[in-house]
Structure 1
């Protein structure tokens, strides 16, 4: 697809604030077909430096709760304020396993490049995330993953940049489908590959951030042919 919305954002601003493959392109593809509109309360879970929160506020006019554990609320607030978005985005510093919200509060949850860190256990969805979504609300997740399950025989390209433990939470579409099918509080609508993987990764590798520099070894050696970006969409029952 053509990333018309993402292309409007300042390239240097994106490079300065990326924490992984280009989250705006991932989010632009993830939100195709989603009913996001002004007045909705949206949890952006694992928002990092807030690029996805900025996109959600600017492109859809929703009220965003930008929640992250690694980046402080103050740092993100200053970024949102500098863009004139502080009235649409509320920064929250919180652990995804201990969210400080009321149950049935959100119309939607969006999570880009973070759910795999904390949501890879069978109980997480029912116990830790779905309770905060209104019945009929939706959950849209984008996670990095594999084309197939390679953990028992990792391709050598991976080991140039990463150890086996770094890839523990990377899985294939079928694995995620099976995991989330056990959740009793959601209906899984789709689990599918995103088309933006190559573009999103190339944007990330162009950053001078230390993790991007480290990732270049494996990706330049061809690790990308085994990898995936996965979109998961579900509805709260």
Structure 2
């Protein structure tokens, strides 16, 4: 991919604000294949410092509810103000994934980049907590980190240079995710597939001086990346 939209954003802005492998490049790949109509109302679930929310509002003209538990909405609002985004374009919200402060059938779509794996592996989560917030016919566009093949039974030592076994419990392959998602009634699985942006997005993250990025370098330099990927999940509420 050329990442024409992502490359508009300065290296300084990206390195200062991302909290993992470059999320806007993941988002650009996802949106290129699964675009949403301009003006759609969307929740950006687990938005962190709001980089993906800014991207959705500026590049795709979506009305975004930037939702995160750990980064304060006040901090995100300041960032959005600096990017000249108004409340008609983007609204920062504090919300926990199991207790989201929204009406049922409020959103045209839910987007979640590199966060859904923290709560969505519970097979009850989607149907109980998230799907009701999406209009019938609306989409859920999710990106999760994973393995090319599930290797928990024989985890390469390279991973343990940066992460514990527990840290990796949310990483799985496409087949594992399909099994989880098929449990939920009222949702159509459009696609579950590996993405091409894995290496590119990790390269941007490992170039940061964020302490977590520095910590991740040991495993990635030892070859852990060859077992990893990002998985794009596209769902539609029936």
TM-score computed with the length of structure 2 as normaliser: 0.98
Cross-structure match for 1:155: 156
Q: For 1:1-237, list aligned pairs within 5 A.
A: 1-87=1-87, 88-237=89-238
Partners of 1:218 and 1:86 in 2: how far apart?
Answer: 41
Secondary structure of 2:180's match? helix
Secondary structure of 1:58's match? helix
Deviation at 1:39, TM superposition (A): 2.4
Partners of 1:20 and 1:35 in 2: how far apart?
Answer: 23
Task: For structure 2, list consecutive stretches of 5 or more residues without a partner in the other structure.
Answer: none
Contact 1:77 1:86 in 2 (8 A): no
Q: How large is the RMSD of aligned CA atoms in angstroms?
A: 0.8
Deviation at 1:185, TM superposition (A): 2.0
Contact 1:76 1:91 in 2 (8 A): yes
Deviation at 1:182, TM superposition (A): 1.2
Deviation at 1:37, TM superposition (A): 2.9
Deviation at 1:181, TM superposition (A): 1.1
Contact 1:147 1:228 in 2 (8 A): yes
Partners of 2:186 and 2:46 in 1: how far apart?
Answer: 21
When structure 1 is superposed on structure 2, of 34-43 and 68-77 the one drifting more is: 34-43
TM-score computed with the length of structure 1 as normaliser: 0.98
Task: For structure 1, list consecutive stretches of 5 or more residues without a partner in the other structure.
Answer: none
Partners of 1:198 and 1:57 in 2: how far apart?
Answer: 26
When structure 1 is superposed on structure 2, of 49-58 and 150-159 the one drifting more is: 150-159
Partners of 1:221 and 1:89 in 2: how far apart?
Answer: 40
When structure 1 is superposed on structure 2, of 83-92 and 210-219 the one drifting more is: 83-92
Secondary structure of 1:104's match? coil
Partners of 1:174 and 1:136 in 2: how far apart?
Answer: 24
